[in-house]
Amino acid sequence: MSRTLPIMLLAGTLLATMAIPSAATATDPAARGKPQAEPKPLVIAHRGASGYRPEHTLEAYRLAIRQGADYIEPDLVSTADGVLVARHENEISGTTDVADRAEFADRRTTRTIDGRSVTGWFTEDFTLAELRTLRAVERLPQVRPTNTAFDGEFAVPTLQEVIDLARSQSRRLGRTIGIYPETKHPTYFQSIGLPLEEPLVDTLRRNKLTRRTDAVFIQSFETANLRKLSRMTNVRLVQLLGGSGRPYDFVVAGDPRGYADLATPDGLAWISRYADAIGPTKDLIVPRDADGALLAPTSLIRDAHRARLAVHAWTFRAENQFLPADHRIGTDPAARGDITAEYELFYSLGLDGLFADHPDTAVAVRAATR
């Protein structure tokens, strides 16, 4: 069944729906009603306010909410005991202090993740109780050295803790804070007996987050798990699109299509059968040349809207090394460039939402361009 495009998203009225049980089931067409009006474009805090605090910590999410973000984004991986926690990757040596913990030295190992050999420490080798003893560290210390002042202060949060934070802050501020979880490496986690879909849907269901009108999006770079989720829940789904390569479930299934194929009108029509939006890398919307200078915008936003899909682009970061040459200031790759100009450009193209490391700037530019 084709899922209806979320024209605009939720407003403060959704605060009540986050706490009210839904009688709708995943097979109830009425549960797929049009979401109510929400800010547009949406500002989605990418791993929280990750430009200012170590990513995927409750403090990063809390700061993002204070800065005005509409949604907070937890990437989800599983512990050995099947609890979903917020980490960008299941290999955690770059985002926690695990490498300095002698008691876990023997957990270092090598695994094959989505066809790549990865060495380190993996969440699936730790129980939640063990993982809670670790502390987060800044993932990009060379780019964001001021964030390292918070190394060792914050724990690894569970999905439930992220939901609890969004709900408590919604009540405190009188506006709805949504959650935007990503399932990381779903084919891999399925292969080791720790599927992500069931615990994710079960957690949402326990929190009465089951309807398209609830402030939830689920995103993935793979397609098979999103198609499975479309049969399990009515919350909105987002197909992420990389600038190159293929969804790993396509690799496993022998499907020759890549992200470039999914970004075509035919690919978007196929995505619309199970998802409500696409999450493309911003370079699929405004490409860059070999020198990093901006080229003419593509037709992706228009094509997606014709397929009744919203468009939430990633990732907007303020530092020069992440910006097009047109918006860099000076030669220091870690210095802040003209992120305001980039936001203005993408807002002008009719984007429905974006993922931002610095949500405060995204919110401010949105307010100024209305």
Query: Among all residues, which ones are annotated catalytic?
Result: 46, 88
Question: What is the rounded distance in angstroms from the CA atom of residue 177 to the CA atom of residue 11?
Answer: 9
| Chain-centroid distance, C-alpha 45 | 8
Cis peptide before 41 (omega within 30 of 0): yes
Which residue in the block uniquely carries the two structure tokens 């405060």?
A: 360
Question: What is the rounded distance in angstroms from the CA atom of residue 259 to the CA atom of residue 364?
Answer: 32
C-alpha triplet 98, 133, 160: angle, nearest 5°: 110
Q: Is 152 exposed, middle or buried (0-12, 13-18, 19+ CB in 10 A)?
A: middle
Alpha carbon separation from 34 to 11, 234, 315, 353 (Å, rounded)? 13, 11, 27, 17
Question: What is the rounded distance in angstroms from the CA atom of residue 4 to the CA atom of residue 258?
Answer: 24
* Contact predicate 304/33, CB 8 Å: no
Q: Which of 105, 85, 75 is nearest to 93 (CA)?
A: 105
Q: Which of 354, 357, 366 is nearest to 280 (CA)?
A: 354
Q: Is 208 exposed, middle or buried (0-12, 13-18, 19+ CB in 10 A)?
A: middle
DSSP secondary structure letters along 47-63: TTTTTTS-SSSHHHHHH
* Contact predicate 195/213, CB 8 Å: no
In degrees and rounded to multiples of 5, residue 239 shows phi and psi of: -90, 115
User: In this structure, what token pair is assigned to residue 323?
Assistant: 């910006």
In degrees and rounded to multiples of 5, residue 240 shows phi and psi of: -75, 145
Question: What is the rounded distance in angstroms from the CA atom of residue 274 to the CA atom of residue 229?
Answer: 9
